[in-house]
Amino acid sequence: MEICKHDEFCGGCIYQGTPYEEQLRIKEQEVLSLLEKKGVACGEILPIEPAPSQYRYRNKMEYTFGDMEKGGDMTLGMHRKKHFMSIVTVDQCQLVHEDFNRVLRATLDFCQEKGYSFYHKKSHKGLLRHLIVRRGVHTGELLVNLVTSTEPGFDEEGYVQLLQQLPLEHTLVGILRTFNDSLADAVKCDELKTLWGRDYYMERIMDLDFKVSAFSFFQTNVEAVERLYSYAINLIDDFSGKVAFDLFCGTGTITQTLAKKARKAVGVELVEEAVAAAKSNAALNGLDNCQFIAGDVFEVLETVTEKPDVIVVDPPRMGISPKALDKIISYGVEQMVYVSCNPKTLVENLYYLQYYGYEVKSLKPFDNFAGTRHTECVALVVRKG
């Protein structure tokens, strides 16, 4: 595929024009050098797993309204490289399904024709803020969420008709409007209004059904994460009769998959909305041996009386805090699986675990986000002796 037409200004993909084999080599090398630099010994380092697809893999995009040049035409898309105030219209992005590009283009044309203003970060005046598009990869459902201020005058009915008439490959299941008057340049929800349809879409991962609401966290590349999770869970010898802890569990995809094999699975997650979603999804899937607890991992583990036989961790980019790691180590489990979205903090945590009596039996990098700098990894950590 040719180099993206937005490459000159958009900062999304740093590897435009780099052959894919070379991208994989760079990412694999980065992981190896981090391990070497920190002195983390690995029993086996497996080759990087390529992405199932290099293009059209993202299932969610959050676009911003703005302008490219001060006082210029309104744009809708991504922040410009090294110019945070400028927004580049990205209606031919290669990382998203064409339906996303169609919705973006139609929305921008509609808003320009109506003469609407975008929300200015400095004056805090204006109507249009963000456009969020989400899709169910395995279900073919599409959810559109327009984020505006409470400034009056937006033609909701006209916008609904516009989207309903678009020639889309997906089934449009919901059109939403989020009101946001917060001063911060971030998507905040003061009020959510369903203009048409429903406020969620359905997805299916690892033979489980998930109801994904407007602001639920959900894995961005579904096909890649299915392979990564399957690999991670299969690293554990045997779950039968065991209690498994899934720490930093998000909406509980891994927890529910563990529950199908273990006696009991306990998911812990800081974000309360994610825990609420995890509970309703477990009920949807008929799983009654799952427990989800909202709170900081360290604080929750301090109060939980049950002891795990096996632990899976999938922390955010900043990794696991020393306090939480100490608590995890104190359980003395034989096997632990570490799923990481940031090789730097992974290596720091593995070094700590190594110092306190664990060793890395195997480590495998995954390229889930082709074209970008992100690399995921899965490590199997076992207790020495």
Is 369 one of the annotated binding-site residues? no
Residues classed as catalytic: 341
Q: Percentage helix, strand, coil, to 5, in the chain?
A: 30, 30, 40
Distance CA 351, CA 364 (A): 16
Is 299 one of the annotated binding-site residues? no
As averages over each run of 10 residues, the pLDDT of the chain (385 residues) reads 78 85 98 98 97 96 94 94 86 96 98 97 93 98 98 97 98 98 90 97 96 90 96 94 96 95 97 93 97 97 96 97 97 97 98 97 97 96 93
HSE value, Cβ hemisphere, 13 Å, CA-based, for 172: 22
Sketch the domain layout of the chain as residue ranges.
20-53+221-383, 60-205
Answer whether CATH 2.120.10.30 is correct for domain 60-205.
Answer: no
**pLDDT tens, residue by residue, 15-34:** 888 999 999 999 999 999 99
Nearest Cα neighbor of 228 from 314, 141, 353, 287 is 314
- Find the angle CA(175)-CA(178)-CA(180) to the nearest 5 degrees: 165
Is 92 one of the annotated binding-site residues? no
Q: What is the pLDDT of residue 329?
A: 97
The single-letter DSSP state of residue 55 is: S
DSSP assignments along 78-112, one per residue: EEETTEEEEEEE-TT-SSB-HHHHHHHHHHHHHHH
**pLDDT tens, residue by residue, 252-287:** 999 999 999 999 999 999 999 899 999 999 999 999
- Find the angle CA(199)-CA(89)-CA(66) to the nearest 5 degrees: 80
The single-letter DSSP state of residue 344 is: H
Is 23 one of the annotated binding-site residues? no
Q: What is the pLDDT of residue 184?
A: 85
Q: What is the pLDDT of residue 140?
A: 98
The residue whose two tokens read 């899709």 is 135
Q: What is the pLDDT of residue 109?
A: 98
Strands (DSSP E) found in 153-231: 171-179, 191-197, 200-205, 208-213
Q: What is the pLDDT of residue 246?
A: 98
Could you please state the CATH topology (level 3) that the domain comprising 20-53+221-383 is classified under: Rossmann fold (3.40.50)
Q: What is the pLDDT of residue 1?
A: 52
Taking a C-beta distance cutoff of 8 angstroms, is the pair 108, 128 a contact? no
